[in-house]
Amino acid sequence: QLQLVESGGGLVQPGGSLRLSCVSLADNLDAYALAWFRQGPGNEREGVVCSSSTTGSTYYRDSVKGRFTISRDSAKNTVYLQMNSLKAEDTGVYYCAADSLPTLSLNPDAFQFWGQGTQVTVAS
């Protein structure tokens, strides 16, 4: 089973930046569709961005377009989420997810493998 571990969360002020990392401990991520999700206080888990390297496609939810960027370092078997111009509404637990199919979806049900999450708090 694919094992994912997130890191990089923390407390930042509005307008600040943060980079999250998600590393695979037991498998190569090259063939996987990758995504980031988040769950804010009192909210359901929502998709932030998904990416499929096999298709070369990436899709961001509207609220993070122009602010967040997903990237991948194949040599380190790691996927990143660079978050800029952070807002209070970005607060939540962020999860990385992967699926063996080259899907492009912000639906959490489309992803089989999940990390345990890392807390991001945006507050002044």
- Does residue 106 contact residue 47 with C-beta atoms inside 8 Å? yes
Binned at pLDDT 50, 70 and 90, residue 109 comes out as very high
- Residues 111, 61: Cα–Cα separation, whole Å: 16
pLDDT, mean over the chain: 93
Three-state secondary structure along 70-119? EEEECCCCEEEEEECCCCHHHCEEEEEEEECCCCCCCCHHHCCEECCCEE
pLDDT bucket at 83, cuts 50 / 70 / 90: very high
Q: Write the pLDDT tens digit of every residue in 29-79.
A: 888 899 999 999 999 999 999 998 788 899 999 999 999 999 999 899 999
Q: Using a pLDDT cut of 70, give the percent of the chain over it.
A: 100
Both tokens of 61, joined, read 């939810």
Determine the Cα–Cα distance for residues 107 and 105; give it in Å rounded to an integer: 5
**63 DSSP assignment:** G
The position carrying tokens 């790691």 is 78
Residues 51 and 59: their CA atoms lie apart, in Å, by 7
CB 36 within 8 A of CB 96: yes
CA distance 30 to 106: 19
- Give the confidence band of 115 by pLDDT, cuts at 50, 70, 90: very high
Average confidence (pLDDT) over 108-121 = 95
